[in-house]
Amino acid sequence: MDLLYTAYRSPDYELEKWLEKFENLLTSAYVEGYQPTIMGDFNIDLATKKQSNNEWLSLTMNYQLTQIIKEPTRVASKSCTQIDHIFTTHPDKVRATKVSKIALSDH
């Protein structure tokens, strides 16, 4: 069974606590037989090399989740970041992805 999670992590919310809670959600999903797809604004910039990125990516890899967005999702005049993610257990079923350049948000 498939399950779609949407999530937002405030940049002010301590990452370690958030990761622990999110892992509990993933564990529950797998115990119940779900194959999750996760999408949202995680405020973890995958365009940079930080320890926090490694913790997040390690967690998702433990659950066989693959990040399918490979380009910056927030582009400003002086920076670009990849803080919006989509992870899936079935990347082979994804035909295409696109980060829109036209939006009602800043990312």
Give the pLDDT score at 96: 87
3 state DSSP class of 80: strand
Local confidence pLDDT in tens for the 107 residues of the chain: 889 999 999 999 999 999 999 999 999 999 999 999 999 999 999 999 888 899 999 999 999 999 999 888 888 878 888 999 999 999 888 888 888 876 555 55
**Phi–psi pair at 39, nearest 5 degrees:** -140, 145
Distance CA 22, CA 16 (A): 10
Per-residue pLDDT tens digits for 49-59: 888 899 999 99
Per-residue pLDDT tens digits for 10-24: 999 999 999 999 999
Distance CA 17, CA 37 (A): 21
Read off the tokens for 98. 């696109």
What global pTM score does this model have? 0.85
